[in-house]
Structure formats: C-alpha cells, structure tokens
C-alpha cells in the first residue's frame, strides 16, 4: 500500500486567495487537507491561511467530501456548518451539510 505524501498538494495560491478576499467571499472550502498549494513559495509558511484568516477574517474548511455534491449536479444549495461552541477557539470539527 502506498503511503500518502504530504509534500505536495494542489490548491489555491496567494493571488487566488487575495482575489477571493477582495471579492468578499464568506468562507473558502476545499476537498484537500490544506486548501492552499504545497509546497509554499520559498520563505513562506501557509501564506494563504495567513492572508485569508488573519487579513480578511475568512474561515477555511479543509477535507470536505465534495464528490456526492458534484454528482448531484446542483450548483446552488444551502450550506450549513456549525462549529463547536468553544469560547476562544481558533478551529473546530464540523459536520457540514448541503441542503439541495
């Protein structure tokens, strides 16, 4: 069995993150573990995370299982994601739901 490699990851880069932030998106989610492209640009560590979370206040959802949603063929839906109510937390597990 092949072990997964976490040295490379498809995802968005800083330019895409800036565009999303300036467009006023409410949240960014992806089906990978990092949302952003890995490896990072030299001299940076999680630059997309820093830009979106710190600079724009946009939360990130990682590891979404999007295949069933894609298979539904729907492009519009109600998205529900309720974090655990932990005061002062910077992250939380979710049970995301797409209401078709």
Decide if pLDDT at 4 tops 70: no
Tally of domains in the chain: 2
Are residues 58 and 73 both part of a single domain? Answer: no
Cis status, amide bond into 39, omega within 30 of 0: yes
CA torsion sign for 52, 66, 98, 63 is: negative
Average pLDDT rounded to a whole number, residues 16-40: 94
Give the model's confidence band at 2: pLDDT under 50 very low, under 70 low, under 90 confident, else very high. low
| 17 plus 58 within the same structural domain | yes
Going from the C-alpha of 99 to that of each of 10, 22, 69, the distances in angstroms are 27, 27, 10
pLDDT of res. 33: 86
Any idea what the Cα angle at residue 5 is, between residues 71 and 90, rounded to 5°? 75
Matching residue, tokens 């997309």: 48
Q: What is the mean pLDDT of the chain?
A: 91
Predicted TM-score (pTM) of this structure = 0.81
Reported confidence tier of residue 8, pLDDT bands at 50, 70, 90: confident
Same domain, 3 and 39: yes
**Chain segment 52-69, per-residue pLDDT in tens:** 999 999 999 999 999 999
């Amino acid at each position: 069995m092949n072990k997964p490699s976490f040295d490379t990851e498809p995802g968005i880069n800083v330019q895409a993150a800036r565009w999303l932030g300036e467009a006023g998106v409410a949240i960014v989610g992806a089906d990978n573990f990092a949302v952003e492209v890995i490896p990072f640009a030299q001299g940076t560590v999680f630059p997309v995370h820093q830009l979106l979370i710190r600079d724009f206040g946009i939360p990130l959802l990682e590891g979404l299982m999007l295949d069933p949603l894609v298979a539904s063929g729907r492009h519009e839906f109600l998205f529900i994601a309720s974090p655990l109510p932990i005061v002062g937390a910077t992250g939380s597990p979710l049970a995301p739901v797409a209401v078709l």
